[in-house]
Structure 1
């Protein structure tokens, strides 16, 4: 295990760097998230270098705590999503000026790729519904008939759009969510004392208070089938709770199993006005606007096989806007999560609050949603008919996912890969009343989705690769796949431009091509059970070295190379350096001096 710990030290800084989205997120000021640069330190010196950061931030701790029990495969999975490179600093006891000063110093440190305050995350409480009159616990009506979002595609006056057809899914084994697990990740938590809601079977909670918002979400997903009140889309499901937090989301990963569902009912407040995208007030964006959260979600989806559903946010913002520079373009990067938009059921068109764009996969009701409710005056028998926003659409979609996955398990198909299940729901859903399926996607139709899923299907899988690698870097890739018929699988990789260019094992190690300009690469793997074949494809960015090509024929410094030839020249970030002492992995701009360092001081390239 000591050798593995040493290897972790080597690799801690050897994952590709990434361009960060420049946005206007309102800072929380309670915590700074640091992403260290790749290749900044060798295994022999990483401890000393971290000490220099800790002098600035004594409370700095890794997002992923070190573990001697972690296998190499588990470590590689974390590295593919940069999660071994994140550190957190608690700043809640500092004044805003002190916190800003610390942030500036961290950003100037040569070991740091990025440092950002965690953004201000809000619990979408503006979507809470108006409580109906207080009910006696022994005289609660059955409101299921008013949960129109449970019904089929046919409309019911005064509404102009139907529901997700959960009532048909209930007729199929597994459609009510038996043995499925859904985690509700929100700021407050549902009222476990509510007569129509279950107790949590799993929780990561650091003192969240009970509130109306998560009580409404829980009711949509899991209110019990008991003849009174409301009925959840998956009334037999096991329901868990996560008190929202970036590090707690990663902690949750260790407690989840393949096929579990996480619904995230929070969004990020931007600084206002957010004029770059035309928003002046109530400027909210999806939680994945935060790069760390997006990396964790990609890890959950690609490595753990967990279905993640997140509110698209209530900012009425076009996620395809040029300001975002392709950040929400799934052809550039796709975490695999489902973004849930919302429709106004009375018009059948996009709700005015809902985010929109090609990244919004699915939608459901954003107004007039009947579900459970909580208040101080009525903590046990509260209901509402007016829960709204992407807040209401999100748990509806999460319930749909749990129902479809529950059927797959009950019918012997096993766990459907998240991107495959999302694709199935998109292909079988139906659009807004105007026929537009590009603005906020489609509303799921569980009956059609189940029918299509139960047809003869080829193997299904998910491909886990880094979002970004460096020129010439060696990295890992892994395919998680299964056969609905439990047949043995064969793998055939195609990796044009990489070394090797072919492979036939489930896990592969590739070397990226050497490039002088940022380049788009593609990896694909054909998974066959001998009868059917599924081809999985993912794209990754190959990052050119900083300063590459600026010094004529002088080669760019290579983080993996051993430098032992005195006077050998390398180029790095617009300067050329000469080798002075043996080195490997020690950046020339950091480890250079007239004496005592591996490199002599750099000079500007001509």
Structure 2
């Protein structure tokens, strides 16, 4: 698989080579089904790309540093150190103790020279991070990242060129897996695409449930009423923690939160309150009724330490089967021409960034469902510029990723991100809920009794889907126990209402709880010979068959190379390159296959290359003689 995954981390506003993991916290035992199909090897990000993705505006960014697995680097006082110096494992990128110590001294001096203060990115105590890692590994048989190897240095100002120089200097150290710039995220909300002619009501908090079309039983609703006929169909015994900025936790139509980690200072809670109302608005005869009104809700602001740390904090509060909702997105590489919502053009889902991906995977490995906004950047997440970061054959965080559709049809909104990684979609406009600016209703309690009918974006869509997840889990809890993240994802995809229109912009199906709930209430089991809606090739190959892949045989651990590439025999290898080349040439070779197509011993222009795989090309080479030769120019 390619190593061209630049997984960066981001502090957000609302919506390689294979490296073995050493020092696993506890024995990895597949005692329960894996909650997400991740690999036993981590994909090392291609740090050569990090400086090219630094945004033009660097006035509000941070520098994130991730050390290689196995190095054991920690911050002691103001100094970087490692308790494992003198006992480095082979996983630590071939480092010897002297090299690691030189790197730590050099990085400390480099940051000091620029007056940058370093701190751990994940502020949870080391013992608690270790517990999340070890429990996830035991549960899932997935080797997880050591989140304690991430560090954060807020950029204190300066030119982009100075920041590029710093990132390149940090990445020159062999002990650094990747150093990158973390842009500021934003809420994943967007304006509706056209006016619905809504009129504010004047009364003492009317009943707005008739406006909640997303829960209806028609073609554009989720069939919530049908699901409520099953025990657990109101989300009983399920808890959700929303990760974003601010909320109005004492809104009249919301339950008291079971967990609350607010932002360090007060702020606008319109968005967070709208999210909460969609999910858990109370069934009380006024206002709105959430999709899962009997689920518990909690809040974790990313403004404290960043999105990745907020995800880890939320995961620590929850049990298997509970839900973390990520309501933010952030700017990624420039790949799109945006015809709407231009202010969020090129914004992508948070798992693009390394720290967020690792935090999500840790949560899903612990059996926690992570629902993630796909983002409002108008981008195709299959674009090769992302280097396979959103390709599940390359890596899979286990999250349920959500796109946005129109309220009147299952057509993508103009701004919704799309691609094979987007699992499901829901309404991205005209969602009636609590909060907002009170466009629908604003009574006598200020922000505590405001309602909106224009909540939008992949933010609204992700809130709707989180409610659906809570309902499915509530039914599962009553029937046979909580669903794993993979089973839950399979269920909503396999039973959902298909996307309509613009099928080249994949946003997945729309959850159909009327179809899903009966299956959850009476599930089959892996190995029974039936590939049910709760299963897929990823979760139950014995019933559903193997997953298809474009990766040629013997290329699963292909090394990432740059162009030009030249090799002479004897050769027996497979490499991967993602740069557009001009031609491939070879002679005296036994095998030259490009993405599985035989191109041996001939000159081939790039215009005749086969289709890309994982955003690039796998080159399988066998040459038996010293005069065997291949070159890619």
How many Å apart are 1:250 and its aligned residue?
2.2
Q: Closer, same or farther in 2 for the Cα pair 1:237/1:99, shift >3 Å?
A: same
Give the equivalent residue in structure 1 for 2:499. Answer: 432
Please give the per-residue CA displacement for 1:425-456, whole angstroms capped at 9, x wherever unaligned.
11111123449597211111101111122334
Please give the per-residue CA displacement for 1:241-288, whole angstroms capped at 9, x wherever unaligned.
1112222222333222111111111111247xx3x4334733122222
Question: Any idea what SS the aligned residue of 2:421 has?
Answer: coil
Kept in 2, the 8 Å contact 1:310–1:337? The answer is yes
How many Å apart are 1:113 and its aligned residue?
3.0
TM-score by length of 2: 0.65
Q: How far apart, CA to CA, are the structure 2 residues paired with 1:409 and 1:19?
A: 42
Kept in 1, the 8 Å contact 2:412–2:505? The answer is no
Unaligned runs of 5+ in 1: 1-5, 155-160, 461-483, 485-522, 557-606
How many Å apart are 1:143 and its aligned residue?
0.8
Give the equivalent residue in structure 2 for 1:389. Answer: 457
Question: Any idea what SS the aligned residue of 1:350 has?
Answer: coil
How many Å apart are 1:86 and its aligned residue?
3.5
Give the equivalent residue in structure 1 for 2:104. Answer: 50
- 1:401 equivalent in alignment to 2:469: yes
Question: Any idea what SS the aligned residue of 2:126 has?
Answer: coil
Give the equivalent residue in structure 2 for 1:299. Answer: 362
How many Å apart are 1:219 and its aligned residue?
0.7
Give the equivalent residue in structure 1 for 2:614. Answer: none
CA RMSD of aligned residues (A): 4.0
Match of 1:106 among 159, 170, 173: 170
Q: How far apart, CA to CA, are the structure 1 residues paired with 2:548 and 2:483?
A: 18
Give the equivalent residue in structure 2 for 1:421. Answer: 488
Kept in 2, the 8 Å contact 1:134–1:382? The answer is no
- 1:201 equivalent in alignment to 2:258: yes
- 1:89 equivalent in alignment to 2:157: no
Give the equivalent residue in structure 2 for 1:450. Answer: 517
Q: How far apart, CA to CA, are the structure 1 residues paired with 2:99 and 2:260?
A: 39
Match of 2:318 among 244, 248, 256: 256
Kept in 2, the 8 Å contact 1:151–1:166? The answer is yes
How many Å apart are 1:374 and its aligned residue?
4.3
Q: How many residue pairs align between the two structures?
A: 467
How many Å apart are 1:544 and its aligned residue?
4.4
Q: How far apart, CA to CA, are the structure 1 residues paired with 2:376 and 2:370?
A: 18
Q: How far apart, CA to CA, are the structure 2 residues paired with 1:526 and 1:381?
A: 47
Give the equivalent residue in structure 2 for 1:144. Answer: 209
Q: Closer, same or farther in 2 for the Cα pair 1:25/1:317, shift >3 Å?
A: farther
Q: How far apart, CA to CA, are the structure 1 residues paired with 2:214 and 2:293?
A: 15
Match of 2:418 among 347, 353, 356: 356
TM-score by length of 1: 0.67
Match of 1:331 among 393, 401, 415: 393
Q: How far apart, CA to CA, are the structure 2 residues paired with 1:254 and 1:119?
A: 26
How many Å apart are 1:423 and its aligned residue?
0.8
Please give the per-residue CA displacement for 1:199-226, whole angstroms capped at 9, x wherever unaligned.
2211233325242111111110011000
Give the equivalent residue in structure 2 for 1:242. Answer: 300
Matching of residues 125-204 of structure 1 within 5 Å: 125-127=189-191, 133=200, 139-152=204-217, 154=218, 161-187=219-245, 189-204=246-261
Q: Closer, same or farther in 2 for the Cα pair 1:7/1:86, shift >3 Å?
A: closer
Q: How far apart, CA to CA, are the structure 2 residues paired with 1:448 and 1:66?
A: 43
- 1:36 equivalent in alignment to 2:67: yes
Give the equivalent residue in structure 1 for 2:182. Answer: 118
Q: How far apart, CA to CA, are the structure 2 residues paired with 1:538 and 1:299?
A: 26
Q: Which moved more, 1:52-61 or 1:421-430?
A: 52-61
Q: Closer, same or farther in 2 for the Cα pair 1:292/1:162, shift >3 Å?
A: same
Q: Closer, same or farther in 2 for the Cα pair 1:66/1:551, shift >3 Å?
A: farther
Please give the per-residue CA displacement for 1:58-93, whole angstroms capped at 9, x wherever unaligned.
533444567357469459679933334732232243
Q: Closer, same or farther in 2 for the Cα pair 1:535/1:206, shift >3 Å?
A: farther
Question: Any idea what SS the aligned residue of 1:184 has?
Answer: strand
Q: Closer, same or farther in 2 for the Cα pair 1:63/1:386, shift >3 Å?
A: closer
